[in-house]
């Protein structure tokens, strides 16, 4: 069977028998029915996206989001440490006191 990726439109041959297709259509998991078929080709059958496009669309941003969240958290911690250090310096210098 030949399928075309919905994103890159590249055609790929998915080597499945009629028997395997019937089992998949009946609800069996493709990885159980055809474990010998490449993961990217199985994804093409399931979602319509080849493995490469699926990863680019669905996996990429999540990793970027996690990295961005970690960077933002590190900046917030650094800002809080700077603020705390400034507060300690202000209290030690006599600022804000009636002395």
CA dist., res. 48 & res. 34, Å (int): 17
Question: Is 80 exceeded by the pLDDT of residue 96?
Answer: no
CA dist., res. 12 & res. 14, Å (int): 6
64 in any annotated domain: yes
Question: Among the listed ranges 3-12, 40-49, 74-83, which one has the minimum average pLDDT value?
Answer: 74-83
User: pLDDT for 18-69, tens place per residue?
Assistant: 999 999 999 999 999 999 999 999 999 999 999 899 988 887 555 566 777 7
| Alpha helix stretches (DSSP H) within 4-50 | 18-25, 30-33, 39-47
99 in any annotated domain: no
CA dist., res. 6 & res. 26, Å (int): 24
Average pLDDT over residues 74-81: 80
14 in any annotated domain: yes
pLDDT at residue number 31:
93
pLDDT at residue number 94:
57
pLDDT at residue number 88:
82
Which comes out higher in pLDDT, residue 94 or 70?
70
Tell me which residue range forms the domain holding 68. Answer: 2-91
CA dist., res. 35 & res. 43, Å (int): 12
Domain count, the chain: 1
């Amino acid at each position: 069977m030949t399928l075309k990726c919905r994103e890159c439109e590249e055609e790929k041959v998915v080597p499945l028998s009629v028997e395997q297709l019937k089992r998949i259509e009946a609800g069996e998991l493709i990885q159980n029915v055809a474990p010998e078929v490449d993961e990217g080709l199985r994804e093409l059958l399931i979602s319509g996206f080849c493995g490469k496009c699926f990863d680019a669309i669905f996996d990429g941003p999540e990793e970027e989001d996690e990295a961005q969240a970690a960077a933002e958290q590190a900046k917030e911690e650094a800002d809080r440490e700077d603020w705390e250090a400034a507060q300690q310096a202000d209290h030690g210098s006599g600022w804000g006191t009636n002395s």
